[in-house]
């Protein structure tokens, strides 16, 4: 079976990227494939923001992704530099539970563990 890495770069509030990545991840796991990591970069780091208050009628895909990753033991990483640059994390701001701060070096090293990288 294939071992995937997922890279999200688009803002989940402005595109379908998070929903598509979550669907892909669930489908891949259900078909016996594995996911080594999910890495949020560029505007995708907004998904890790703990201070965003969604309207009650909108699904919280960020929380769903974190829950899925915890259940499947998949590291859910976000670029700490991109997050700080966008005001997602900082001295008074923390990431959502389940999201792990990482650097591009860690992302690069993880590429040796996968067969395919899929970008959303």
H-helix or E-strand spanning residue 5: strand 3-8
Buried b (16+ CB within 10 A) or exposed e, 14-39: eeebbebbbebbeebbeeebebbbbb
pLDDT at residue 103, rounded to an integer: 96
CB distance 42 to 12 below 8 Å: no
Task: Give the span between the Cα atoms of 38 and 29, in whole angstroms.
Answer: 13
Check pLDDT > 90 for residue 65.
Answer: yes
Question: Residue 57's pLDDT band (boundaries 50, 70, 90)?
Answer: confident
Determine, yes or no, domain membership for 90: yes
What residue numbers bound the domain in which 93 lies? 3-49+59-119
| DSSP classification of residue 119 | E
Determine, yes or no, domain membership for 54: no
Q: What is the mean pLDDT of residues 46-59?
A: 86
Check pLDDT > 90 for residue 99.
Answer: yes
Q: What CATH number does residue 45 fall under?
A: 3.40.1260.10
Q: What is the mean pLDDT of residues 40-62?
A: 90
Check pLDDT > 90 for residue 59.
Answer: no
Question: Residue 67's pLDDT band (boundaries 50, 70, 90)?
Answer: very high
Report how many domains make up the chain: 1
Please name the residue ranges forming H helices in the chain.
Answer: 17-30, 61-72, 80-85, 104-110
Over residues 19-35, the pLDDT tens digits come to 999 999 999 999 999 99
């Amino acid at each position: 079976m294939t071992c995937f890495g997922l890279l999200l770069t688009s803002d989940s509030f402005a595109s379908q990227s998070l929903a598509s990545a979550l669907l892909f991840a669930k489908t891949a796991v259900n078909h016996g494939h594995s996911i080594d990591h999910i890495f949020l970069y560029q505007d995708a780091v907004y998904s890790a923001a703990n201070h965003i208050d969604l309207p009650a009628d909108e699904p919280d895909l960020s929380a769903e992704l974190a829950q899925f990753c915890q259940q499947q033991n998949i590291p859910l990483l976000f670029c700490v530099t991109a997050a700080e640059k966008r005001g997602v994390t900082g001295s008074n701001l923390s990431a959502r539970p389940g999201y792990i701060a990482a650097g591009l070096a860690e992302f690069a090293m993880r590429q040796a563990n996968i067969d395919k990288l899929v970008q959303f």
